[in-house]
């Protein structure tokens, strides 16, 4: 086996214990010589039964099938075979939604040798003539269908990793429901194998029976002109949300998201969720953004979950209960939004205490009582106190006049990190 290191300039060259070999539907004949050599030299080959069946008889290694569920079994299996030359078989590119990620987490990248095969999305792009770098990839393997909604934009191309043979019909149903019935879908089955098959139709006309469980769905998104356009930036149209009036309206919402300033991987507490719009727009900022919304009214909590699903962020966590009690035990957030319950005793204190140092807190109110509270906290902690007064032009008889919405007072502040002291008037970006 050739020696391998993750970075040969700074680490000594040494053989590594586990080699991960990507294999496609074309099996052994499709493997690169390096991958074949690694498999022939292995003492143990671990893989799914389907992948193990692709190996020829002249691979003398002991063959071990992954148990199900896989993840909890991995550390035990690896230690059981420690010290032997172990190869793990993975489908396609092991580092793309594959076992490679789990192995890297457990073993560390420098104890792993990865020999990739083209992934299903590389094959799909090759068949369709689509540039992979200009195609959005969404996995529905072990993930809710609703996640696809966030990726729907007119003219955009998507590749959807299917959970099984029923996924194409489910995707077609979702596309129709979201006003994307005219989209062209191509289901690509057994990519790279001798049973490869492609099936194309619009989502609107998709009535095909289930095909192969191994498939990728290519979607050329086309929005029905009558369907609501859902853009990328915060401040979605109010009609995008199901609501009972408890909704931070579009212009104030856009200003609120700007103050909350989401970044990849960050966690938000949306306290007093209402219709869920703030947590939802936070999560739409990046697929890795996470949010917990706390809403005391169970009917509204149900509505928040529906809005999250419809707008492509079904992973939004909805806690039904009254803050501050309902905040207990939640993971520390990077940002907190308070849209309701400001005058509940101890609520602002609990949000402030829970926020990680350097995190942002933004609170909106339309009442004088809450405004007095925010003014007091502003005096003590600094930040920005802002008044947002939005007016819309409406018909007045045969003329046009301004209809003023209730002005919203917004306090936004960054919690000092260790070593920062006292009130200041800097905005969240300078102090975070
Ligand atoms: C003005 S709405 C928030 C609107 C929300 N940001 C949106 O855009 O949908 C205030 C919400 O806070 C909820 N609420 C008030 N006090 C609360 C508390 N102590 N804990 C949790 N929710 C509370 C109310 O039920 C209401 O749904």
Best of 241, 255, 260, 273 for a ligand 1 pocket test (most atoms within 8 Å of beta carbon): 273
Instruction: Please say whether the beta carbons of 175 and 219 come within 8 A.
Output: yes
- Evaluate if residue 15 carries a pLDDT over 50: no
Q: Which region, left, alpha or beta, applies to residue 255 given φ > 0 means left and ψ of -120 to 50 means alpha?
A: alpha
- Evaluate if residue 169 carries a pLDDT over 80: yes
Beta-carbon-side half-sphere exposure of residue 398 (alpha carbons within 13 Å): 0
Asked, as a colleague might, if the bond just before 324 is cis with ω within 30 of 0, I would say: yes
Q: Radius of gyration (Cα) for the chain, nearest Å?
A: 26
Model confidence at 18, pLDDT cuts 50, 70, 90, reads: very high
Burial 48-86 (b: 16+ CB within 10 A, else e): beebbebbeeebebebbebeeeeeeebeebbeebeeebb
- Evaluate if residue 233 carries a pLDDT over 90: yes
End-to-end CA distance of the chain: 49
Model confidence at 430, pLDDT cuts 50, 70, 90, reads: very low
- Segment 272-278 mean pLDDT: 98
Cα(340) to centroid(ligand 1), Å:
4
- For the entire predicted model, the pTM comes to 0.89
Cα(318) to centroid(ligand 1), Å:
12
pLDDT number for residue 419: 65
Q: Mind listing the pLDDT tens digit for each residue in 32-71?
A: 999 999 999 999 999 999 899 999 988 999 999 988 888 8
Report the percent of the chain where pLDDT is more than 90: 86
Burial of residue 298 (number of CB atoms within 10 Å: 0-12, 13-18, 19+): exposed
Report the percent of the chain where pLDDT is more than 70: 93
pLDDT number for residue 17: 78
Which ligand 1 atom is nearest residue 249's CA?
A: 8
- Evaluate if residue 431 carries a pLDDT over 70: no
- Segment 225-241 mean pLDDT: 97
Ligand 1 residue neighbourhood (C-beta within 6 Å): 246-248, 272, 274-278, 294-297, 300, 322-323, 339-341, 344, 347
Best of 274, 303, 388 for a ligand 1 pocket test (most atoms within 8 Å of beta carbon): 274
Among the residue ranges 31-35, 409-413, 416-420, the one predicted with the least confidence is 416-420
Cα(229) to centroid(ligand 1), Å:
27
Whose CA is closest to atom 16 on ligand 1?
341
Cα(372) to centroid(ligand 1), Å:
19
DSSP string, 317-330: EEEES-TTGGGTTP
- Segment 191-203 mean pLDDT: 96
Cα(330) to centroid(ligand 1), Å:
18
pLDDT number for residue 421: 56
- Evaluate if residue 11 carries a pLDDT over 50: no
Q: Mind listing the pLDDT tens digit for each residue in 350-386?
A: 999 999 999 999 999 999 999 999 999 999 999 999 9
pLDDT number for residue 1: 36
pLDDT number for residue 422: 53
Q: Where are the alpha helices (DSSP H) in 92-211?
A: 99-107, 120-128, 167-177
Cα(269) to centroid(ligand 1), Å:
12
Best of 235, 238, 246, 277 for a ligand 1 pocket test (most atoms within 8 Å of beta carbon): 246
Measured CA to CA, the distance from residue 29 to residue 403 in angstroms comes to: 71
Cα(375) to centroid(ligand 1), Å:
20
Closest CA to 351 of 374, 365, 335, 375: 335
pLDDT number for residue 124: 98
- Evaluate if residue 246 carries a pLDDT over 60: yes
């Amino acid at each position: 086996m050739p020696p391998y290191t993750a970075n040969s300039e700074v680490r000594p060259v040494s053989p590594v214990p586990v080699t991960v070999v990507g294999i496609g539907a074309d099996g052994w004949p499709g493997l690169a010589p390096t991958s074949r050599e690694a498999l022939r030299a292995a003492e143990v080959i671990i893989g799914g039964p389907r992948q193990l069946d692709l190996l020829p008889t002249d691979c003398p290694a002991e063959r071990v099938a992954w148990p199900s569920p896989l993840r909890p079994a991995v550390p035990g299996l690896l230690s059981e075979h420690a010290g032997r030359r172990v190869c793990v078989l993975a489908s396609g590119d092991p580092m793309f939604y594959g076992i490679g990620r789990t192995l890297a987490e457990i073993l560390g990248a420098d104890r792993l040798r990865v020999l990739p095969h083209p992934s299903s999305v590389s094959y799909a792009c090759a068949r369709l003539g689509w540039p992979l770098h200009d195609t959005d990839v969404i996995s529905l393997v072990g993930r809710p269908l609703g996640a696809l909604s966030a990726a729907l934009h007119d003219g955009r191309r998507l590749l959807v990793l299917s959970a099984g043979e029923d996924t194409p019909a489910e995707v077609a149903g979702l596309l129709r429901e979201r006003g994307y019935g005219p989209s062209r879908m191509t289901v690509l089955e057994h990519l790279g194998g001798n049973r490869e098959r492609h099936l194309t139709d619009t989502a609107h006309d998709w009535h095909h029976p289930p095909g192969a469980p191994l498939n990728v769905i290519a979607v050329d998104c086309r929005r029905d002109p009558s369907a609501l356009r859902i853009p990328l930036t915060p401040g979605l149209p109010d009609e995008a949300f199901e609501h009972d009036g408890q909704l931070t309206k579009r212009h104030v919402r856009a200003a609120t998201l700007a103050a909350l300033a989401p970044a990849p991987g960050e966690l938000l507490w949306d306290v007093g969720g209402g219709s869920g719009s703030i947590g939802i727009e936070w999560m739409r900022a990046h697929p890795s953004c996470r949010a917990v919304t706390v809403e005391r009214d169970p009917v509204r909590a149900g509505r928040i979950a529906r809005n999250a699903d419809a707008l492509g962020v079904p992973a939004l966590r909805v806690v039904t209960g009254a803050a501050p009690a309902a905040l207990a035990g939640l993971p520390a957030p990077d940002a907190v939004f308070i849209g309701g319950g400001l005058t509940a005793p101890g609520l602002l204190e609990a949000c402030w205490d829970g926020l990680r140092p350097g995190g942002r807190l933004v609170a909106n109110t339309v009442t004088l009582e809450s405004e007095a509270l925010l003014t007091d906290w502003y005096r003590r902690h600094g930040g920005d106190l802002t008044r947002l007064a939005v007016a819309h032009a409406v018909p007045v008889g045969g003329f046009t006049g301004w209809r003023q919405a209730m002005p919203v007072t917004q306090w936004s502040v960054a919690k000092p990190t260790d070593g920062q002291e006292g009130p200041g008037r800097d905005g969240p970006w300078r102090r975070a």
